[in-house]
Amino acid sequence: MGSTTPAMEVIPAIRQLLAELSEQHNEVLSGRRAALWRAQQQAAGLTNTVDDLRRYCLNALAPRRQLAETESLRGYREGFQEVLRAIRALETQG
């Protein structure tokens, strides 16, 4: 899997992660859902590759100005980390 692999191939994994969170509700999980939805939207772009999606997730995880660490923000970061793990799993499957 390389730079030309369509990011859409990650969408089933993102949908599975979203489904696992569907019945649970708290601030952390709300942040995770927000990150997963954003990643899914990015992956759905017709011209976006897996590398584009990876860069999008890494950019979202980049340190920002001193933001207060809220439960929602923690979940948001965890959501993007889950997407990066899904990308890695897809890549290792071959």
Predicted confidence pLDDT, tens digits, the chain (94 residues)? 456 889 999 999 999 999 999 888 899 999 999 999 999 999 999 899 999 999 999 999 988 776 677 898 899 999 999 999 999 999 998 6
Q: What is the pLDDT of residue 63?
A: 82
CA–CA distance, 16 with 14 (Å, rounded to integer)? 5
CA distance 1 to 15: 20
**C-alpha gyration radius of the chain:** 13
Supply the pLDDT for residue 94. 62
Domain boundaries, the chain: 7-93
Q: In the prediction, which pLDDT does 22 show?
A: 84
Instruction: Give the pLDDT score at 76.
Output: 93
Rounded to whole angstroms, the Cα distance separating 76 from 66 reads: 16
